[in-house]
Amino acid sequence: MFVSQPQYEFPFPPDLEQPGSQHWRMVELTLHAPWFLLTVEIFDAEMLDCSMSRTICIAWDYDLAEVLRGLDPETVLGIVCMMPAWASPNGQWSSKEVREVWMCSSPAGQSVLLVDPAGEEFDCGLVPEHVEPLKKDLVLRVAPAKPRRRPHSRRKTPPTGNRRSRRASARKSEA
């Protein structure tokens, strides 16, 4: 789904690079299908109060569900579904925040069901015609974002520019 060319490889400093990884200045989408941005918080093993966020581009809804199953829900900061022009009301690529990810299964097959902050359900378009009994399992529920205070900051007005800091916690349901 994502492809790049050798001329777009970014020369990353070897001391900062993870073994076997490559860095790219530009990637191309090979399909006009929904895809995802998953942002997680990574904590430093030596300094527990130190963390950074990492955003992962994920091509398929099933891959999103699998990645989420292997994560600590508290580290998930947010999920965004990038919707192609054919699935967007404005006829252009758009984004849709994802609050819940569900796996649905029936004798007809499996699918991933997504829920936005307004409670609207949506999917990525390739869903089997489910028949009863339909089983729905919650994979992950992302808590609404809460304003994040900067440590040691006493500023009462926002800094110049349009930078906002926000963090959402994630909780896994017992459902």
Which tens digit of pLDDT belongs to each residue from 99-116?
Answer: 999 999 999 899 999 999
Q: How confident is the model at residue 149 (pLDDT cuts 50, 70, 90)?
A: low
Across 17-28, average pLDDT: 82
Across 20-49, average pLDDT: 87
pLDDT of residue 161: 44
Q: Does some domain include residue 21?
A: no
- Would you tell me how many other CB atoms lie within 10 Å of the CB of residue 38? 21
What percent of the chain lies above the pLDDT cut of 90? 45
Q: Does some domain include residue 139?
A: yes
* Residue type present at position 135: K
pLDDT higher than 60, residue 172: no
Q: Does some domain include residue 101?
A: yes
Q: Does some domain include residue 20?
A: no
Q: Does some domain include residue 4?
A: no
Higher pLDDT, 23 or 104: 104
pLDDT higher than 70, residue 6: yes
DSSP symbols for 60-126: -HHHHHHHHHTS-GGGEEEEEEEEPGGGSTTSS-EEEEE-EEEEEEETTEEEEEEE-TTS-EE--S-
pLDDT tens digits for 42-76? Answer: 887 777 778 888 999 999 999 999 999 999 998 99
Q: Does some domain include residue 8?
A: no
Could you tell me where the DSSP H helices lie in the chain? 61-69
Q: Does some domain include residue 76?
A: yes
Q: In angstroms, what is the C-alpha Rg of the chain?
A: 19
Q: How confident is the model at residue 147 (pLDDT cuts 50, 70, 90)?
A: low
Q: Does some domain include residue 67?
A: yes
What percent of the chain lies above the pLDDT cut of 70? 83
Q: Which tokens hold the place of 130? A: 């489910």
Full residue range of the structural domain in which residue 58 is found: 31-151+165-171
Dihedral sign (CA 155, 158, 159, 165): positive
- Per the structure, the count of domains in the chain is 1
Quote the Cα angle for 59-97-45, to 5°.
70
